[in-house]
Amino acid sequence: MEQSAIANQKLQGGCFCGRVQYRVQLPVKWCAHCHCEICRKTQSAPFVTWFGVEKINFEVLRGEADIAWFDSSQNAQRGHCIHCGTPLFFVGKNWPDEVHITRESANADIKQVPQIHVFYDRHVSYFQVDDQLDKFGGHNGFVPLAINPKTAKESNE
């Protein structure tokens, strides 16, 4: 869908028990699968799908006091519902103007399909990703990996 057509549309989401509810204004900035150790451990999942929005397009509608924030690294904090544990938010120094939100906490289509895999070189061995999306890894999780069709092509030229 054209970005202009979805501009200013609102999308709601929240945790499993419903005490925390948020709203974002579309369009989202991006959507990506993350395979880093912290995502995998804190959500006990093989990878986590996130989307990013500008902070100005994000608001907590209900349950601000029900969100527990913790330092997941020196540079970032994550927020989850204190009652049901649903992981919801990520904010980090590397993205000062953004809130990152777990895709599955959204109540409807975010109008952006996942675009890339990050920290892909850390991916688990028991689940095979079978898609054509570009994959990134390396020291910061965002270095293009040689397995990418585009990257492989460029290195041959």
Residue numbers of the site for Zn ion (CB under 5 A)?
A: 15, 17, 19, 34, 36, 39, 81, 83-84
In terms of CB distance, is 6 or 104 closer to Zn ion? 104
**Between the CA of residue 121 and those of 20, 37, 127, 136, what are the distances in Å?**
33, 11, 13, 7
In terms of CB distance, is 6 or 144 closer to Zn ion? 144
Q: In this structure, are strands 98-102 and 116-118 parallel, antiparallel, or unpaired?
A: unpaired
Q: What is the smallest separation between the CB atom of 46 and Zn ion, expressed in angstroms?
A: 12
Q: What is the smallest separation between the CB atom of 33 and Zn ion, expressed in angstroms?
A: 9
Report long-range pairs for 121-124 (Cβ below 8 Å, ≥24 apart): 121/35, 121/145, 122/35, 122/36, 122/37, 122/40, 123/35, 123/46, 123/47, 124/35, 124/40, 124/46, 124/47
In terms of CB distance, is 83 or 111 closer to Zn ion? 83
In terms of CB distance, is 16 or 97 closer to Zn ion? 16
Q: What is the smallest separation between the CB atom of 157 and Zn ion, expressed in angstroms?
A: 32
Partners of 60 in the β-ladder: 22
Q: What is the smallest separation between the CB atom of 34 and Zn ion, expressed in angstroms?
A: 3
